[in-house]
Amino acid sequence: MTRTTEPIISVIIPVYNKINYFSAAVKSVTNQMLNNENDVEIIIIDDGSTDGSSKLADDLANEDKRIRVFHQENQWIYASFNNGVKQAKGKYIYILNADDTLVDNSLQLLIDKTNEYNEPDVIWTKVLICKVDKEQNILSQSDMNYEVINEAYYNTANEIHDNWFFLQKSELIRNQANLYKRNIVLDHLFRNDFYGADTYFNLDIADSIGSMVILPNEIYRFYEYGVNEMNISMGKYYDYEHEMFNQIYQKSKKIYMNWNISETVFLDYLVEIRLRELTHEIHALNNFDCKMTMDEKLEHIMRVCADSMIRRESRLVGREREYESRVLNGIMDLSGYKGSVGGQYSFLNTLCNALPKDYRDNVDLNNLERKDICNAINNELNIDRIGAVYYSTNWDNLME
């Protein structure tokens, strides 16, 4: 297996304590059918594993000379991505998580497409979401990018700008499961401070893409495990999520604004996604690893989640009432909340007691007093005056 030429694709596999799954990830690459086996190299970045994954990586490298292993102290996953890119020799980079796999024969397909389309900067590829048990037996699977049904090639700035919204809406830019020219990744690299860095990276390279291909073929199998602790970011609480989602929102909007794309094309969609994420943030306060007390959770909602920036953006597309409803319904959904909050946040009872689940419905005013609503809206702890728009459907001038 002596390599005579540089590889076309460097598959980077970061691993940290994935002893039970890591071998399957690597084998899904080494077992690929290739016209020339040396067109692909595998870069394993061992991120300070303590469960035997380090030795397994070395053993796998001894079995296949296309594998190179680099051991490092623990730096987290995106630093591992970056370190792998720096060590890679291929013209292209493909990143595979240590507990996921590639679809059979997918790498030769990608190589063929780089030739067919004169080495595009990015090939966007589809992801299969596979719900699995602890042994990686697939229980069900779904197409994450189901809107992608046609192959497409774009090689002008106007074409890329015009089709960027499709990339975003179809969720092709949601993760790193795409084929990137190595020089583009080297020029940008992944930030290493939040789990949405893959999405942010795709936004960050937008202006550097001169040509791109969209493939309708499934390439990447993402395994979603039934136990949340086994998934990298799912079912966990992160105190930086609000700022992360805001940065991704603002980065997305800036791209369209710089490209002079009309807000009618993208803004309602971006706001809709940001509002869904707002609900996610609040629900995450109930996750097993969030150690806040109920009072601390309420304070977090009213000081962080209730965000004037989100209100302002929601107002632009007529979703301001939805914004307030998501905050209030999030409070209602908190574990242990039964409509009887005590202490300094007791004013929330007034705002939540008559709340319908559907933000489009009117509230039940039978047991509410306008004065109580006004007092709750203007409470000093209600910094963003949550409820002012929501209840103005029924009463005017609630900010007095």
User: For position 390, what pLDDT does the model report?
Assistant: 85
Query: pLDDT confidence of 363, banded at 50, 70, 90?
Result: low
Please name the amino acid found at residue 9. Answer: I
* Res 5: pLDDT: 80
User: 245-259, 347-361, 366-380: lowest mean pLDDT where?
Assistant: 347-361
DSSP per residue over 174-194, as a string? Answer: SSS-EEEEHHHHHHH---SSS
Collapsing DSSP to helix, strand or coil, 366 comes out as coil
pLDDT of residue 121: 98
Q: Tell me the pLDDT tens digit for each residue of 69-126.
A: 999 999 999 999 999 999 999 999 999 999 999 999 999 999 999 999 999 999 999 9
Looking at residues 299-312, what average pLDDT do you find? 97
Q: Specify the range with the lowest mean pLDDT, choosing from 80-84, 179-183, 199-203, 226-230.
A: 226-230
Please, are residues 120 and 243 in contact by the beta-carbon 8 Å criterion?
no
pLDDT value at 394 more than 80: no
Q: How confident is the model at residue 270 (pLDDT cuts 50, 70, 90)?
A: very high
Our measurement of the distance from residue 243's CA atom to the centroid of its chain's CA atoms, rounded to an integer in Å, reads: 13
274 residue type, one letter? R
Q: Where are the alpha helices (DSSP H) in the chain?
A: 22-30, 53-63, 77-87, 106-116, 157-169, 182-188, 197-204, 241-258, 263-284, 294-300, 308-316, 320-333, 347-352, 370-377, 388-392
**Residues sharing a CB contact under 8 Å with residue 369, sequence separation 6 or more, in sequence order:** none
pLDDT band, very low/low/confident/very high, at 356 (cuts 50, 70, 90): low
Per-residue pLDDT band for 192 (boundaries 50, 70, 90) equals very high
Q: Longest Cα pair distance anywhere in the chain, in angstroms? A: 81
What's the chain's average pLDDT? 91
- Give me the pLDDT at residue 400, please: 44
Tens of pLDDT, residue by residue over 234-266, are 578 999 999 999 999 999 999 999 999 999 999
Q: CATH assignment of 9-230, given 1.10.3720.10, 3.90.550.10, 3.40.1110.10, 2.60.40.1180?
A: 3.90.550.10
What per-residue confidence (pLDDT) applies to 337? 57
Give the pLDDT confidence of 215-225 residue by residue, as tens digits: 999 999 999 98
- Where do the domains of the chain lie? 9-230, 241-392
What pTM value is reported for the model? 0.92
Task: Give residue 399's pLDDT.
Answer: 46
Q: What is the mean pLDDT of residues 346-353?
A: 86
Phi, psi of 248 (to 5 degrees): -65, -40
Query: Mean pLDDT over residues 286-314, rounded?
Result: 94
Q: Which of 11-15, 160-164, 249-253, 367-371 has the lowest mean pLDDT?
A: 367-371
CB 173 within 8 A of CB 199: yes
- Tell me the average pLDDT across 195-208: 98
Is 33 exposed, middle or buried, given 0-12, 13-18 or 19+ CB atoms closer than 10 A?
exposed
Over residues 322-333, mean pLDDT? 90
Q: What are phi and psi of 63, to 5 degrees?
A: -85, -25
